[in-house]
């Protein structure tokens, strides 16, 4: 025995080395006072029955039972594989990606199906009873405690409620757990995964159990997760139905999850932590055919792996981090990743960005070429969707910074600030020529020269209008060359 891993009301779990073998195990031993009590015989009988059932099930999504029996002093005990990693609760708090959620719940559903086929009801499927190791395509989820959980959480008479409060089905409150009860718990887990909030998170334990006991309809998933799809909401609602007969079986869940969990459109991760333009950005990405994952946490973008998202879209108004630094980090660590930044205006400091598209909201409204781009094909493989078209960094700077400079020119003309007119015109001319927008550059040079010669506003205003039109034409050309 190495150390105590955890202690509950009915037993203690130890980390142990298996003698003669190069592997570790979790050894669980019933508390002596429980076995020595008046219900000791019944506990032994149920323990042995559960171990016999568990020994008939082998599945990659179920913890492996090594051996079972009694200790030298007669206490029921079993040994299972030791699973490094973290609980599902910890993984969800750290925000699993959408593909990881897809993989995780496919594995949990398959594990439940194997248990139910063997006649075993887990009775305590919860965030602490699923272990998660690895990330991305290497993620592995395993259900644990399907032996002791039944012993440890249900009295010998079968009249006690079993399970973890936020994951307990109405029939379990009456001591009548069945396979559908595990599907209810799975629905609560999926609600947590898709919304970031535990099911019925607003209710304290007493009110929570009363809500479940009264068999009330579950709240809509999209109230807590506006970005969830209708199909996801429908599946979660069916899993959380108060009537166990209306819940899908584990096999039916797997079939439904396979259909809705794999987006048919390329996935765009939209990072926005509360800007007033979040809905506008979502509408624009939706119009272009992307399946959108909205997150307020910039770490989701900075920790992305190659091929995880077809597009990472970043709000230029992020408050938690500097959006320029986040964009530069993604460009450095994911050189193949398509990145867009969306904001009202872009200053010249955005010239540090090399590949990301800088899309001003004014441009989204004015440029029909951008708004009418054909959506990505629903049949495009993810690998193809994540291969960006080579872009010219100076062109990106013009798309974003040009709008800001023109707005500054309009303001300088209105205030008759000729020094500002000349300086900003020179900046725009240099930016335009670096992007190959020679007509725009020539017009900006002319505007600066006239401003320096103290030309009147009547002469400058028409030239500024022509310059604005040339800017829009230049951006159209850049975007048209992209397609």
The catalytic site residues sit at: 124
Given the structure tokens 């272009």, which residue do they identify?
288
Collapsing DSSP states into helix, strand and coil, what is residue 364? helix
Which tokens go with 41?
């015989």
Q: Which residues contact 313 (CB under 8 A, 6 or more apart)?
A: 268, 269, 270, 271, 281, 285, 339, 340, 341, 342
Collapsing DSSP states into helix, strand and coil, what is residue 291? strand
How would DSSP label each residue in 115-157?
HHHTT---S--SGGGEEEE--GGG-EEEE--TTHHHHHHS-TT
Q: Indicate the burial class of 33 (C-beta count within 10 angstroms; 0-12, 13-18, 19 or more).
A: exposed
How would DSSP label each residue in 13-78?
EEEEEPTTSS-EEEEEEE-HHHHTSTTHHHHHHHHHHHHHHHTT---TTBPPEEEEEE-TTS-EEE
Query: How far is Cα 396 from Cα 402, in angstroms, rounded to an integer?
Result: 10
Which tokens go with 303?
């920790």
Burial code (b: 16+ CB inside 10 Å, e: under 16) for 445-469 equals bbbbebbeeeeeeeebeebbeebbe
Q: Which of 464, 425, 424 is nearest to 444 (CA)?
A: 425
Q: Which residues contact 107 (CB under 8 A, 6 or more apart)?
A: 60, 61, 140, 141, 142
Which tokens go with 19?
């003698």
Between the alpha carbon of residue 307 and those of residues 105, 369, 474, the distances in Å are 20, 27, 31
């Amino acid at each position: 025995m190495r150390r105590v891993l955890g202690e509950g009301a009915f037993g203690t779990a130890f980390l142990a080395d298996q003698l003669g073998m190069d592997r570790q195990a979790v050894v669980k031993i019933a508390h002596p006072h429980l076995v020595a009590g008046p219900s000791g015989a019944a506990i032994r009988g149920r323990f042995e029955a559960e171990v016999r059932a568990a020994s008939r099930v082998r599945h990659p999504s179920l913890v492996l039972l090594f051996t079972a029996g009694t200790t030298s002093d007669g206490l029921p005990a079993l040994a299972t594989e030791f699973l490094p990693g973290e609980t599902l609760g910890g993984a969800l708090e750290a925000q699993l990606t959408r593909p990881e959620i897809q993989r995780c719940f496919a594995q949990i559903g398959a594990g439940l199906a194997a248990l139910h086929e063997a006649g075993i009801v887990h009775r305590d499927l919860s965030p602490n009873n699923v272990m998660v190791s690895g990330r991305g395509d290497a993620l592995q989820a395993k259900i644990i405690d399907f032996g002791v959980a039944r012993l440890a959480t249900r009295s010998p008479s079968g009249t006690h409620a079993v399970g973890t409060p936020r994951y307990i089905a109405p029939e379990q409150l009456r001591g009548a757990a069945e396979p559908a009860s595990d599907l209810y718990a799975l629905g609560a887990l999926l609600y947590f995964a898709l919304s970031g909030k535990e099911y019925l998170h607003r209710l304290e334990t007493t009110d929570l159990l009363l809500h479940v006991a009264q068999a009330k309809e579950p709240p809509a998933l999209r109230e807590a997760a506006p970005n969830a799809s209708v199909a996801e909401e429908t599946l979660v609602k069916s899993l959380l139905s108060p009537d166990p007969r209306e819940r899908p079986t584990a096999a039916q869940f797997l079939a439904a999850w396979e259909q809705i969990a794999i987006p048919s459109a390329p996935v765009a991760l939209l990072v926005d932590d509360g800007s007033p333009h979040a809905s506008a950005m979502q509408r624009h990405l939706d119009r272009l055919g992307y399946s959108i994952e909205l997150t307020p946490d910039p770490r989701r973008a900075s920790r992305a792996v190659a091929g995880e998202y077809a597009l990472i879209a970043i709000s230029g108004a992020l408050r938690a981090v500097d959006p320029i630094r986040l964009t530069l980090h993604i460009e450095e660590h994911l050189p193949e990743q398509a990145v867009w930044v969306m904001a009202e205006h872009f200053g010249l400091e955005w010239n540090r960005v090399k590949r990301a598209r800088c899309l001003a909201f004014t441009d989204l409204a004015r440029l029909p070429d951008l708004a009418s781009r054909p959506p990505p094909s629903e049949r495009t493989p993810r690998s193809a969707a994540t291969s960006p078209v080579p872009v010219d960094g100076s062109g990106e700077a013009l798309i974003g910074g040009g709008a800001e400079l023109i707005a500054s020119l309009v303001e300088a003309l209105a205030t008759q600030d000729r020094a500002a007119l000349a300086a900003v015109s020179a900046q725009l001319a240099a930016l335009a020529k670096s992007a190959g927008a020679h007509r725009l550059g020539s017009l900006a040079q002319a505007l600066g020269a006239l401003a320096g010669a103290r030309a009147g506003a009547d002469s400058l205003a028409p030239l500024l209008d022509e310059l604005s039109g040339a800017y829009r034409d230049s951006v159209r050309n850049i975007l048209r060359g992209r397609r």
